[in-house]
Amino acid sequence: MVIKPKVRGFICTNAHPTGCLTSVKEQISYVKTQGDLSVKPKNVLVIGCSTGYGLASRITAAFSGGAKTLGICFEKPPSEKRTGTAGWYNTAAFHQQAKAAGLYAKSINGDAFSHQIKAQTIETIKQDLGKIDLVIYSLASPRRTDPDTGEAYVSTLKPVGEPVTSKTFDVNKKVVHEISLEPANQDEIDNTIKVMGGEDWELWIKELNNAGVLADNCITTSYTYIGKELTQPIYGRATIGKAKEDLDRASAALKQDYAKIGLKAYVTSLKAVVTQASSAIPVMPLYISLMYQVMKDEGVHEGVIEQIYGLFETLLLAETPAMDEANRLRMDGVETNDDIQGKIKAIWPTVTTENFAELGDYKGYNQDFLKLFGFEFEGVDYDTDVDPLVEW
């Protein structure tokens, strides 16, 4: 079939297999040009391995570290009439490239929140890897079913405490406008913490440790975004922010609970980038477009793979990495410094629908959004008939 992007709001409902392969190849090419990691993990588990920062982590570990990687994802396979998800094609592309490079790579497709997938993962580790020395937790899901009670929880994108009025960019109508959001109630806050907080990260580490498959001095990290003044009302001081605070709690608990094996547990704050998740968050499309423009003008813009390679090389695998006052690893320092933020804040009050294309980089934002699904890559003929039936 000939595959063109089908965009509905902040979701693209299809994906291009050749484009996704191109995306993975480009990321592999980048890390190869950066050279081997100074410290190389051996056996890496990536929970949420198929897109964004999780995929970049897997690529970096494998192609700059030579690591064996086991990935967990939840993706829809293709059919003769429908494409698979982008994550499906990304994972297929990763497997193809890993095989060609002689690297071990396996993936398990299913609900990472469930006991079943955790058990299947542990069995695979025992059979193939022995022990894991790096666990990347990079899940992004709007809902979670508690594996013990069966109760389903849904996250909410709302401020906490007080209503918020701010600017955003409507990606459907292509207009800059004000948005007002009412504060979340306690149930909505609690549910968001259940979905996006540290509980499942802790469950993964508990099950892996109980099964004896965590190596001594194993490293684990969960990814987060903190942001600054412009995004704080809908991010930091909001339901998402409460969930991210719970990651800090979980990080401290993990280090204490598994001190006997020397577990290092970090929360890592990464810069804002275009992801399927960030596209759905009010304010973020406008903020990211302006931030992209400022950082590109300053020559300091980084994408997902640049952030992750830098994290692995400078902080995550270091014996004693630099941390902030909350004991987090920070890769967002350039975005959040006063100079960059000052330039964004200077533009913010003046941006309108009419001057948005001039002041912001929505073209770059939109291109990055479409690239998530395998579109907008140079060298890919999107008028060519392609087979959607790609297997791992």
Q: Is residue 385 part of a domain?
A: no
- H helices present in the chain, as ranges: 17-34, 52-63, 86-100, 115-128, 186-196, 199-210, 239-257, 284-297, 304-311, 333-336, 338-347, 356-359, 362-371
Q: Report which of 190, 170, 186 is spatially closest to residue 178, judged by C-alpha positions.
A: 170
> Token pair for residue 117?
């997938």
SS3 breakdown of the chain: % helix, strand, coil, rounded to 5?
40, 15, 40
CB-CB neighbours of 59 under 10 Å: 30
Q: Is residue 300 part of a domain?
A: yes
**Which band of pLDDT confidence, cut at 50, 70 and 90, is reported for residue 201?**
very high
Q: Is residue 387 part of a domain?
A: no
pLDDT at 243 over 90: yes
Q: Is residue 13 part of a domain?
A: yes
CB-CB neighbours of 168 under 10 Å: 19
Q: Is residue 44 part of a domain?
A: yes
Express each pLDDT in 81-91 by its tens digit.
999 999 999 99
Number of domains present in the structure of the chain: 1
| Residues contacting residue 274 through CB under 8 Å, at least 6 positions apart | 288, 365, 368, 369, 372
Whole-Å CA distances, 56 to 71, 182, 380: 12, 35, 21
Q: Cα 385 to the chain's mean position, in Å?
A: 31
Considering 30, 89, 153, 235, which one is annotated as catalytic? 235
Q: What is the pLDDT of residue 47?
A: 98
Q: Is residue 1 part of a domain?
A: no
pLDDT at 173 over 90: no
pLDDT at 233 over 90: no
User: Which domain covers residue 233, as residue numbers?
Assistant: 7-141+157-371
Active site residue 235: yes
CATH of residue 38's domain is 3.40.50.720
Q: Is residue 264 part of a domain?
A: yes
Q: Is residue 391 part of a domain?
A: no
Express each pLDDT in 285-328 by its tens digit.
999 999 999 999 999 999 999 999 999 999 999 999 999 999 99
Spatial contact of 40 and 14, defined as CB atoms under 8 Å apart: no
pLDDT at 280 over 80: no
